[in-house]
Amino acid sequence: MLRRLVPTLILAFLVVMGAGAILQIYNGRVDAMASARTDLSATAATLGDEIDRSIAAHPSLGIANGQIAIDAIPARAVSYPNRFVLATGSDGRIVAVAPLSARPLFVGRDIADILGDSVETVHHQSSAGTAPTLTLVDGTDAIVASRALDRPMGRIYVIQNAGDALAAWMRSALLTGTLFATTGLLLLILGAAFHVQTVRAVTADMINQNARATIDAALESGRCGLWDWQIGSSQLFCSASMFELLGMEGREGLVTISELEPLLHPDDAYLGAIVSMKDLDPRQPVDFQFRMRHVDGSWHWLRARGRGLSIAGVKQSRFVGIIVDITEQVETAERNAASDLRIREAIETISEAFVVCDDKERIVVCNSKFRQLNGLSEDAARPGLHYHEALANGGGAKVVDGRVLDSREEISGRDLEVHLADGRWLQISERRTACGGFVSVGTDITDLKRHESELTAGEQRLKASIADLQRSQYALEIQTQQLAELAEKYSEQKTRAEEANQAKSEFLANMSHELRTPLNAIIGFSEILKEGHFGPIGVSKYGEYARDIYDSGHFLLSVIDDILDMSKIEAGRLKLQPCPTRLEDMLDEAMRVVAKMASDKQIIIEAEIPEGMEILADRRAIKQIAINLLSNAVKFTPVGGMVSVRARKARGVVALAIEDTGIGIPRHAIRNLGKPFEQVQSQFSKNHKGSGLGLAIAKSLAEMHGGSLKIRSTEGRGTTVVVRLPIDGPAGLTIEQTASKRAA
C-alpha cells in the first residue's frame, strides 16, 4: 500500500506544482510585458524632457538640438538588445537616432515607413501613458512608446523588440521549467528510489548520486551555493557552485574559516565574529549580505540565507542554507538611487515652481522655488503631506484673480494665469499623470504682463503715428507730382541751354574766321604805313596813328586766336598730334616770345630745366600752354619782379611749375580761374588787357593730354601754376572725351 500511495502522492503533487508553474510562467509574461511598457513609457518621457530642455536652452540650434540631446542619452538607455530611440521633426521625418550605429537605417525616413498604419494608435495610447505592442512594417513584433516634443521637433519614439523585452521572462520561465522539471524528476526519482530501495540497495545509492548532481546543476544555474555550518566549529561545508560563484575551480567539501577570511571585504569582518560565537540560537533564521573577492579582483555581493537544523545523533546544532550572488541587484539599486538623486537635483535647478503629487494629492517632490512662492518651509512641504493642506498653511501671497486646478475634476490638465495680492502674475500649468496624480509648474510672468501693457499702449501710439504717416504720405504724393513736373521742365531747359551753348561755340568759331581776314588786311596796311614802304608820310602824327592801328590789330588778332582756339576745344574740333617733344626746346621758344615784354618791365626770367626731358605730346599745344602761362606771369608781375620756370620728372609724369612775384590772386577767386572769359579784377590787373582765355586754354590743353593744371597763390606775394603732363602722352583719351570732361 505504501509503495502505491507514495507514487500517487508524488504524481498529484507534480500535477499541482505543474499547474502552479504554468500559471506562474503566464503571470510572469504578463508582468514582463507590463514592466517593459512602463519602462519604455518612462524612458520616452525622460528623454523627451531632456530634448525639450536642450531646445529651450539653445533655441538657435533648431532641429540639430534633437541630435545633440540624443547623443547625450546615457548608454544604459539603449543598452538593451534591439532597442532604438528615434526623434522626428514636425513633418514626421526621422532626424535623430540612438544608438549611433542605427542612424543609416532610420535617418531621413518617415516614421510611417517604420510603424505603418499604427502611428496614430501609438500616439493615442502613448498620450494615455501606455506603450502598445504592434507589428512593424518589416513584420517584427515590437513595443513602441512615444511622446510629443516642443517645436521645431515632432515626437520621440522608443522601440523595443518584443522578443528581446521578454528575454528575461524567457530565462525566468526556463528556470521555472527547469526547477519544475528538476523537482518533478527529483520526486520521481525519490519515488522510484523509495519503490526500488526495497528491491535493490545499490540502485538506491546510484539514484542518490544522480539526485546530488541534479541539485548541484540547479544551484549552479540559479547562481546559488549551498553551505552547511556546525555552530562553534571553524569549518563549513560548501557546494561546488559556491566556489564557481567566485570564479574558483569547482570543488566541494569542508572549508576552514581561515581560508575564507582573505576573500572577505575588510568592512565585512563581522563574519569572523559570528563564526566565533558558540551560543547562537538555531531557531533564528540567518539572512545577511557581504562581499567577497572574485578571481578577477572585483568584489561580488553575496546574500546568505539559512536556518538552524538539528540532526539526530549529533549534539551540536547546525545552520544550513544557500548563498546567492546579488551583485546585479545591488548595482541596480545603486543606479536607481543615483538616478533618483539626479532627478531631484534637476527639479531643484528648475527656475519655475515645480511640484509632483500622487493620486492621493500628497506631495511627492517639490523644489525650493515652490516653497518660496508659497511661503513654505522644508518641513511644511515634506513628501507625504497633502498638497492643499500645505498650501493652506503657507505664508505666500493670496490669490486675487484666477484659481488652481481642482483635482476632483476629471480633466487631463489646465493652463491658467493667477494674479497675486502682491502684484505678481503667475502662469500655472498643471497636468494629470497616468497614475492619477498631477504635476504643477508655476512661472512668474510679472515682467511679461508689464510688457504686454506697454505693448498695448505702444500699439495705440503706433496707430496714431500710422494716421499721421498716411496724411504725410498724401502730402508727399502731391509733392512728388510737383517735383516730376519741375524735373520735366528742368530737362527741357537743360536741353535748350546745351543747344544754345553749342550754337554759341559754333558762332564764335565762324565769327573768328570771318574777322581774321579783314583784320590781317588792316595789320598789313598799317605795317606798310608805319614802315613807309611807299615813301614818307607828310605828317608825323599819321605815323603814330599807323603804329597804334598796327598794335591794336595785333592785340585784336591774339584775342580772336584765343577765341578760335577755345571754340575749337569746346566744339571738339581741335585734334592733337602727339609726337616726341623735347620740353626744354618748347620752353626756350616760349621764353623768347615773352622776352621783349619781360625786358620792357625789367623782369628777370629764371629757368631750371633738365636736359634730355622728352615727352609724347602735341608740340603746338605745349608751346601755347607755356606762352599763355609765361605771358600771364609777366603781365601781372610789377616792374623789377622775377619769374621762374622749373621742370621735374617723376613716376611717369612731367611737372612744369611757373612761379612769379606778382600781385597774387585772392583765395576766393582761385576756384573761378581756368573758366573761359574769367578774370580776377584788382587795383593792378583791372587795367591789363586780355580776353581772359589764356588760362582756360592752357588748362583745357593740359587735360586733353591726360594731365592737370593747379594754381597756388598768395595775394600780394605771387602765384605758382603747376602743369602735370604724362610722359607717354594722352593714353588713348579722345578729344571729344577731353572736351566733355572739361565742360563737366
What pLDDT is stored for residue 407 in this prediction?
Answer: 41
Q: Name beta bridge partners: 309.
A: 318
Phi then psi for residue 360, to 5 deg, are -95, 10
pLDDT digits over 557-582, tens only?
666 666 666 766 766 667 788 899 88
Stated as kind and residue range, the H or E segment containing 349 is: helix 327-349
Strands (DSSP E) contained in 120-262 are: 133-135, 141-148, 153-161, 224-230, 235-238, 253-256
| DSSP state for residue 727 in the 8-state scheme | T
| Region 520-539 average pLDDT | 74
| Region 677-700 average pLDDT | 60
Higher pLDDT, 450 or 599: 599
Cβ proximity of 633 and 643 under 8 Å: yes
Output the nine-digit C-alpha cell for 212.
Answer: 546530488
* Residue 179 confidence (pLDDT) above 80: yes
Whether cis (ω within 30° of 0) applies to the bond prior to 99 is: yes
pLDDT digits over 16-35, tens only?
888 888 898 888 888 888 88
* Residue 742 confidence (pLDDT) above 50: no
pLDDT digits over 244-299, tens only?
777 777 667 777 777 777 788 877 755 555 555 555 566 677 777 888 888 888 88
The type of residue at 730 is: P
State how far the Cα of 645 lies from the Cα of 660, in Å rounded to an integer. Answer: 9
Percent of the chain residues topping a pLDDT of 70: 78
State how far the Cα of 718 lies from the Cα of 712, in Å rounded to an integer. Answer: 9
* Residue 216 confidence (pLDDT) above 80: no
Output the nine-digit C-alpha cell for 154.
Answer: 515632432
Q: How many CA atoms lie within 13 A of 29 on its CB side?
A: 10
The type of residue at 367 is: N
| Region 526-533 average pLDDT | 75
What pLDDT is stored for residue 65 in this prediction?
Answer: 60
* Residue 653 confidence (pLDDT) above 60: yes
Cβ proximity of 437 and 364 under 8 Å: yes
* Residue 432 confidence (pLDDT) above 60: yes
Higher pLDDT, 313 or 725: 725
Higher pLDDT, 542 or 333: 333
Of the ranges 194-198, 491-495, 641-645, 672-676, the best mean pLDDT one: 641-645
pLDDT digits over 698-732, tens only?
888 888 888 998 988 888 889 999 999 999 887 64
The β-bridge relationship of strands 642-650 and 653-660 is antiparallel
Cβ proximity of 156 and 54 under 8 Å: no
pTM: predicted TM-score of the whole model, two decimal places: 0.33
* Residue 449 confidence (pLDDT) above 60: yes
What pLDDT is stored for residue 725 in this prediction?
Answer: 92
State how far the Cα of 436 lies from the Cα of 412, in Å rounded to an integer. Answer: 10
Taking each helix axis from N to C terminus, what angle separates 446-531 and 540-571, rounded to the nearest 10 degrees? 150
**Could you tell me the pLDDT band of residue 418, with boundaries at 50, 70 and 90?**
confident
Q: Among 164-178, 195-209, 417-431, 482-496, where is mean pLDDT lowest?
A: 195-209
Can you spell out the DSSP letters for 658-724?
EEE-S----HHHHTTTTSTT-----TTGGGS---S-HHHHHHHHHHHTT-EEEEEEETTTEEEEEEE
State how far the Cα of 663 lies from the Cα of 669, in Å rounded to an integer. Answer: 13
* Residue 536 confidence (pLDDT) above 70: yes
Please name which of 479, 439, 431 lies closest in space to residue 354, comparing C-alpha atoms. Answer: 439
**Cα Rg of the chain (Å, integer):** 58
| Region 419-433 average pLDDT | 78
What pLDDT is stored for residue 660 in this prediction?
Answer: 92
Taking each helix axis from N to C terminus, what angle separates 694-704 and 619-635, rounded to the nearest 10 degrees? 150
* Residue 735 confidence (pLDDT) above 50: no
Please write down the long-range contacts of 421-428, taking CB distance under 8 Å and 24 or more positions apart.
Answer: 421/397, 422/397, 424/397, 425/449, 426/353, 426/373, 428/402, 428/404
Output the nine-digit C-alpha cell for 388.
Answer: 492643499
What pLDDT is stored for residue 642 in this prediction?
Answer: 92
What pLDDT is stored for residue 704 in this prediction?
Answer: 87
pLDDT digits over 463-479, tens only?
888 888 888 888 888 88
Output the nine-digit C-alpha cell for 414.
Answer: 489646465
Q: Among 343-352, 547-556, 651-660, where is mean pLDDT lowest?
A: 547-556
Higher pLDDT, 103 or 592: 592
Q: Among 149-158, 277-286, 631-640, where is mean pLDDT lowest?
A: 277-286
Please name which of 407, 405, 400, 380 lies closest in space to residue 391, comparing C-alpha atoms. Answer: 380
Average pLDDT of the chain, as a whole number: 77
Output the nine-digit C-alpha cell for 221.
Answer: 544555474
pLDDT digits over 56-106, tens only?
777 665 566 666 666 656 656 666 777 888 888 888 888 888 877 777 888
* Residue 677 confidence (pLDDT) above 70: no
